[in-house]
Amino acid sequence: MTPESVAHVIGQMFMTAFWIAAPLLAIGFVTGIVVSLVQIVTSIQDSGFNAIPRLIAFLAGCLILMPWMVHQSMAYTIGILGNLGRYAR
Protein backbone atom coordinates (compact mmCIF):
# COMPACT_ATOMS: atom_id res chain seq x y z
CA MET A 1 0.00 0.00 0.00
CA THR A 2 1.20 3.45 -0.79
CA PRO A 3 1.17 6.20 1.81
CA GLU A 4 -1.57 7.97 -0.17
CA SER A 5 -3.87 4.96 -0.04
CA VAL A 6 -3.25 4.54 3.70
CA ALA A 7 -4.09 8.21 4.21
CA HIS A 8 -7.25 7.75 2.14
CA VAL A 9 -8.40 4.72 4.16
CA ILE A 10 -7.71 6.51 7.46
CA GLY A 11 -9.53 9.60 6.19
CA GLN A 12 -12.55 7.46 5.29
CA MET A 13 -12.43 5.89 8.74
CA PHE A 14 -12.44 9.28 10.49
CA MET A 15 -15.24 10.62 8.28
CA THR A 16 -17.35 7.53 8.94
CA ALA A 17 -16.77 7.86 12.69
CA PHE A 18 -17.66 11.56 12.50
CA TRP A 19 -20.92 10.97 10.62
CA ILE A 20 -21.91 8.17 13.00
CA ALA A 21 -21.22 10.28 16.11
CA ALA A 22 -22.51 13.64 14.82
CA PRO A 23 -26.25 13.03 15.34
CA LEU A 24 -25.72 11.89 18.93
CA LEU A 25 -23.47 14.85 19.65
CA ALA A 26 -26.10 17.19 18.19
CA ILE A 27 -28.78 15.60 20.37
CA GLY A 28 -26.61 16.10 23.46
CA PHE A 29 -25.85 19.70 22.49
CA VAL A 30 -29.49 20.63 21.92
CA THR A 31 -30.62 18.84 25.07
CA GLY A 32 -27.93 20.59 27.11
CA ILE A 33 -29.00 24.00 25.83
CA VAL A 34 -32.69 23.31 26.51
CA VAL A 35 -31.97 22.02 30.02
CA SER A 36 -29.73 25.02 30.72
CA LEU A 37 -32.46 27.40 29.58
CA VAL A 38 -34.97 25.63 31.82
CA GLN A 39 -32.52 25.89 34.72
CA ILE A 40 -32.06 29.61 34.10
CA VAL A 41 -35.79 30.27 33.89
CA THR A 42 -36.69 28.21 36.97
CA SER A 43 -33.50 28.93 38.98
CA ILE A 44 -32.95 25.21 39.60
CA GLN A 45 -29.25 24.50 40.15
CA ASP A 46 -29.40 20.74 40.72
CA SER A 47 -26.68 18.83 38.84
CA GLY A 48 -28.92 15.77 38.49
CA PHE A 49 -31.43 17.90 36.63
CA ASN A 50 -28.78 18.53 34.00
CA ALA A 51 -27.48 14.96 33.64
CA ILE A 52 -30.67 12.88 33.64
CA PRO A 53 -32.42 14.53 30.64
CA ARG A 54 -29.21 14.41 28.63
CA LEU A 55 -28.76 10.70 29.36
CA ILE A 56 -32.39 10.01 28.43
CA ALA A 57 -31.95 11.97 25.18
CA PHE A 58 -28.79 10.00 24.34
CA LEU A 59 -30.55 6.72 25.03
CA ALA A 60 -33.53 7.70 22.86
CA GLY A 61 -31.17 8.89 20.12
CA CYS A 62 -29.21 5.63 20.25
CA LEU A 63 -32.38 3.56 20.03
CA ILE A 64 -33.81 5.58 17.15
CA LEU A 65 -30.56 5.96 15.20
CA MET A 66 -29.14 2.48 15.83
CA PRO A 67 -30.29 0.95 12.51
CA TRP A 68 -28.78 3.85 10.56
CA MET A 69 -25.54 3.74 12.57
CA VAL A 70 -25.18 -0.03 12.04
CA HIS A 71 -25.87 0.41 8.32
CA GLN A 72 -23.15 3.06 8.03
CA SER A 73 -20.66 0.90 9.95
CA MET A 74 -21.47 -2.13 7.82
CA ALA A 75 -21.11 -0.15 4.60
CA TYR A 76 -17.65 1.03 5.65
CA THR A 77 -16.60 -2.46 6.77
CA ILE A 78 -17.87 -4.09 3.58
CA GLY A 79 -16.04 -1.45 1.57
CA ILE A 80 -12.78 -2.24 3.36
CA LEU A 81 -13.09 -6.03 3.59
CA GLY A 82 -14.66 -6.41 0.16
CA ASN A 83 -11.53 -5.05 -1.52
CA LEU A 84 -8.76 -6.69 0.47
CA GLY A 85 -6.89 -7.55 -2.71
CA ARG A 86 -6.58 -3.86 -3.50
CA TYR A 87 -4.87 -3.24 -0.15
CA ALA A 88 -2.48 -6.19 -0.44
CA ARG A 89 -0.46 -4.57 -3.19
In terms of pTM, does the model score above 0.85? no
Q: How much is the average pLDDT of 46-59?
A: 86
Domain ranges of the chain: 3-87
Cα-based torsion angle of the residue sequence 38, 44, 46, 47 in order, rounded to the nearest 10 degrees: 30
**Helix 3-42 × helix 47-81 angle, to 10°:** 160
Of the listed ranges 29-33, 40-44, 62-66, the least confidently predicted one is 40-44
